[in-house]
Structure 1
């Protein structure tokens, strides 16, 4: 069973849901429509409510988190009770909502995978973003060539533009009367008045006008649209889809709707229809009615309802996310930071800690993490972490430095990125926090690393910017890495160089590195020395090892600083760095 919710405003939502329901049933899925507007399962209508005294903005919108949740409306309570009872009885495998952010959130709270319908307009508000974020898939009834609206870009990995969904079935042998004009206002209402059209009719006596809307209603306007020389309509999604299905030349007059949906949606109609945002002047109408060229095939109505049904069916068949494991390296010195990482990790994510030392201390500090006793070598420890996570069933590996905290978006952004680019290594931005700070919001990423917009993926053109603080890849990609070059190179001992070497190996073996917008990690403060004099010996050894392998030195900023302080010296033949005094790690008292 699949549930479908159809909003009651206008008739377009129900018509669209009926088409999708028909396709779902043809695919072997049972589906029922719940609606206050003639659904299979009637829901209580709260028309006329709430009373004016209960219409305060905060009460109506639950402090801006919802669009419509007024106090004291019995029919609203009965409606959600009816939805809950239907879910409890039928245990649906998925639920398609067209449209209501409140219904989507309610159904999702009942543990049902939700698919939501995207509408045009400005919808960056909190309620819409909540619905889009929670949804397993988002269906847009416009063509796949339409630019993704700003408010949907962060959710583009789950957005499916299926084309315009129409219930009309064109008939053969219908010819067009060039002097017949069909005017469709739709049930949502219009700003034009009867006297406006009376003036147009007087000015153009050679045209015959048929008006649909209000009391003048036909169940099936297919023949009228096919026989008309041109149609004048509001800019609703279903009206536009009906024009495209019947290949009817059109003048579209977008009407005032919530979130300016019709006006913004009509921007995509350039070259398909004539669009006017205000009622044209009388002297404009003759020219407008003679504009008959169309290219409605671009609206992709053929098969659109089937494509929408297939999206819903895929969610019903497999709603779960890939098994994910966060991997970190730590010792007792990082136990406090590690507890913050583990306890702030989102639910449903496995966690593996590779203990560089003090495994028993860490096991007590983070009982929610699977602690394994590992080597001191950072490269070998990361390789062990990957093998351990995969052995525990992980499909996706997220490497996170022990000092780093995962934002709420880190895991879903990495999963979304790897869904689109399963062959890649994904890396997100890192924000460094000040002493005493502990947060996973308000990112201020390190300026030396890429920071794409949320949901945006950018292919790296400089692999040297790779950072082992935060990155993710699939278990399959890790298996390829192990087969190609063995993972992180354990011949890099101690501190520095092994992550830059890893990035070079990715590039040499043509494994894409992708910067992931919105996958924010937050680095907790700890004392540092810059350059890190305490690691000078390791850095010199690893820099020389890197040079032998790649023909150039890494960590050049640190090496130059060490050289300036007299800690190291650079030889020219063979080109090499040497440590001048093994005991001199903190010159001039540093």
Structure 2
């Protein structure tokens, strides 16, 4: 069973849900529509409150985290209880919410995968972002060419633009020209309320000599889809609000249109009307035109030959149903492991990493030394004994994580902690680029500071916008502090070049070598926006004198493989201090004391 929630304001939500429900049935999926609207499969209690009883501020919105959660509303309590009882009885494998932040969050808290609808308009507020973040898929009932709104870009990988969803079927011969009465104007007011009524058109009719007006509002609405489609297919011009269903109906009928967007929450109709005007599909008036303006307005609309096929209504409900069915099919979620290297000197930092990691992730620590100490420090991590060879330790960590069942490996320096979104953004990027390695920005924190928000990434590394994934052009910018890949990619790496090269001893060079091997073997590297890690402070020297011998030896080893030197800034700094020099083209210790 699949649950469907339809908002009861206006008729568009439940009509759209009925179309999707029919297509789900074609896919062999049973479903039920839950709504306050009459005619739903499960009619829910009404949670509306009298205006004078409605609380304000936190009492209404739970501190602006929700849209509607008023104190003292028995209807709301009963409504949610009915939804919970239905979920308990039918154990749905997915739930499509069209639309309600609160219902989506409530159902998700009961452990049911949720699909939601992306409504047009400005929806960058916290409640909408909560709805989009927790949804496994987001259906947009507009065509794929419409630019993705800014507030949906962090969720772009889960947005499915399916096209306009209508209950109508195209009447024979319907189109912008043939069979239409150019002097017949059909005016449709949505059930969600309108700023204009038929009487507002009295003066318009008087100003539009020779035009005949048909008003579909109130009791004059046409419920039969076939009759409505036939009427719109013969009309010379349709005058509509900017609701999604009205636009989809006009698109199916292929009618020239004047769009008068109505005031709706989050300016949703204005946003839709703006896209229609940009595409040249309709004439748009932001406010009700004066009677004298209507003749020219109708003439302009009548001259349009809109290619309404661009609104992609054909098969839209079927595409939406497929998205829902795929979520309901429920592929096994990935098992994710964080892999880190440490010794007892980093036990405190590692403790923060382990205890701040996302719930549901495994953690593997390769002990460079002091394994018993680390096992006591981080009992929530699986600690294995390794060596101080960093390359060998990373290889061991990856292999251990895979043996423990990991599908996705996230490598983190022992000093780093995850932001709340790091694993999510890595997993999203790897879902779209499963054969790649991904890497995110790193913020260096001040002494004594510990946080997982407000990133201020190191400027030397890429920092795309959250949700943006950019193919790397410069592999030398790879940094082993934070990166990830799927287990299959690691296994390919093992086959192709053995993982991290254990010829590097001690500190330095092995991560740049790894990146060179990625490029040489055709493994893509992507920078992932929003996948922030935060590096905890510890004392360092610059250049790192404590690793001088390792850096010189590893730099020479790197050059023997690739013909160039890594870590050139450090090498030059050591040379300026008199600690190393070039002899026959190679760096050597001078025996001089540190300057």
Q: TM-score range by the shorter chain?
A: over 0.9
Picking from 342, 345, 357, the partner of 2:357 is 345
1:223 maps to 2:230? yes
Matched residue SS, 1:222: helix
TM-superposition CA deviations, 1:447-489 (whole Å, max 9, x none): 1111111000111111111000000111111122112211111
* Structure 2 Cα separation of the partners of residues 194 and 246 of structure 1: 23
Q: Which residue of 2 aligns with 1:578?
A: 588
Structure 1 portions without partners, runs of 5+: none
Q: Which residue of 2 aligns with 1:462?
A: 474
1:82-140 deviation per Cα after TM superposition (whole angstroms, max 9, x unaligned) = 00000000000000000000000000011111001000111111000001100111000
Instruction: Identify the range of structure 1 (160-169 vs 287-296) with the bigger mean alpha-carbon deviation.
Output: 287-296
1:288 to 292, 297, 304: 297
Q: Which of 520, 528, 535 matches 1:516? A: 528
Q: Any idea what SS the aligned residue of 1:451 has? A: coil
Task: Give the structure 1 partner of residue 47 of structure 2.
Answer: 46
Local SS of the residue matching 2:551:
helix
Q: Deviations over 1:504-563 (max 9, x none)?
A: 111111211110000000000101001100100000000111111111111111111111
Matched residue, 2:419: 407
Aligned to 2:190: 186
CA contact under 8 A between 2:10 and 2:192: conserved in structure 1?
yes
In structure 1, C-alpha distance between the alignment counterparts of 2:488 and 2:432, rounded to whole Å: 14
Aligned to 2:396: 384
Q: Secondary structure of the equivalent of 1:139?
A: strand
Offset at residue 57 of structure 1 (A): 1.8
What is the CA-CA distance between 1:320 and the residue it aligns to?
A: 4.5
Q: CA deviation at 1:285?
A: 2.2
Cα distance between partner residues in 2 of 1:66 and 1:319:
30
**Where does residue 425 of structure 1 map in the other structure?**
437
Indicate the SS of the match to 1:393.
coil
Matches within 5 A, 1:55-454: 55-173=55-173, 175-220=179-224, 221-269=228-276, 270-289=279-298, 290-318=302-330, 320-454=332-466
Alpha-carbon distance in structure 1 between the residues aligned to 2:208 and 2:50: 46
Q: Deviations over 1:417-476 (max 9, x none)?
A: 001111211100001111111111111111111111100011111111100000011111
Secondary structure of 2:337's counterpart equals strand
8 Å CA contact 1:50–1:72 kept in 2: the answer is no
For residue 474 of structure 1, what is the aligned residue in structure 2?
A: 486
Root-mean-square deviation over aligned CA pairs: 1.3
Do the aligned residues in 1 keep the contact of 2:336 with 2:410 (CA within 8 Å)? yes
Q: Which runs of 5+ in 2 are unaligned?
A: none
CA contact (8 A) 1:50 1:70 kept: no
Q: Distance in 2 between matches of 1:173 and 1:259?
A: 37
Q: CA deviation at 1:51?
A: 5.5
**Residues 458-467 or 218-227, more deviating:** 218-227
Post-superposition CA distance 1:190-233 (Å, at most 9, x none): 22244431111101121111111223211032121111111010
Q: Secondary structure at the match of 2:14?
A: helix
Aligned to 1:25: 25
Is the partner of 2:527 in helix, strand or coil? strand
Task: Give the secondary-structure state (helix, strand or coil) at the position aligned to 1:399.
Answer: strand
Q: Give the Cα–Cα distance (whole angstroms) in 2 for the partners of residues 506 and 94 of structure 1.
A: 39
Tell me, in whole angstroms, the C-alpha distance in 1 between the residues paired with 2:303 and 2:369.
Answer: 78
Cα drift, residue 321 of structure 1: 2.8
Alignment of 1:535-554 (within 5 A): 535-554=547-566
Distance 1:443 1:195 in 2: 57
Q: C-alpha separation between the residues in 1 aligned to 2:591 and 2:160?
A: 63
Distance 1:173 1:291 in 2: 18
Shift of 1:36: 0.2
Native 8 Å contact 1:50 1:73 kept in 2:
no
The answer to whether structure 1 residue 7 and structure 2 residue 14 are counterparts is no
C-alpha spacing 1:83/1:245, structure 2 compared with 1 (3 Å): same
**Residue in structure 2 matching 1:527, options 523, 539, 548:** 539
Query: How far does residue 280 in structure 1 lie from its aligned partner after superposition?
Result: 2.5
CA distance in 2, matches of 1:93, 1:317: 8
Deviation at 1:581, TM superposition (A): 2.0
When residues 363 and 429 of structure 1 are mapped into structure 2, their CA distance, relative to the original with a 3 A threshold, is same
Distance in 2 separating the partners of 1:482 and 1:317: 33
- For residue 304 of structure 1, report the CA deviation from its aligned partner: 0.6
Contact 1:427 1:513 in 2 (8 A): yes
Q: How far apart, in 2, do the equivalents of 1:261 and 1:171 lie?
A: 29
Give the conservation status (yes or no) of the 8 Å contact 2:198–2:215.
Answer: no
Q: Given that residues 184 and 213 in structure 1 are in contact (C-alpha distance below 8 angstroms), is that contact kept between their aligned partners in structure 2? A: yes
Equivalence for 1:484: 496
Separation (CA, whole Å) in 2 of partners of 1:215 and 1:193: 13
- 3-state DSSP class of the match of 1:215? helix
User: What CA distance in whole angstroms lies between the structure 1 residues aligned with 2:483 and 2:529?
Assistant: 12
Give deviations 1:8-46, integer Å, cap 9, x for gaps: 111000000000111111111110000000210000113
Secondary structure of the 2:376 match is helix
Give secondary structure in 1 for the equivalent of 2:79: helix
Deviation at 1:319, TM superposition (A): 5.5
* Contact 1:230 1:292 (8 Å CA) reproduced: no
- TM-score, length of structure 2 as denominator length: 0.96
**Equivalent position SS for 1:561:** helix
Residues 50 and 71 of structure 1 are in contact (CA less than 8 Å); yes or no, is this contact kept in structure 2?
no
Contact 1:400 1:468 in 2 (8 A): yes
Higher mean alpha-carbon deviation, 408-417 vs 474-483, is at 474-483
In the aligned structure 2, how far is the partner of 1:240 from the partner of 1:158? 24
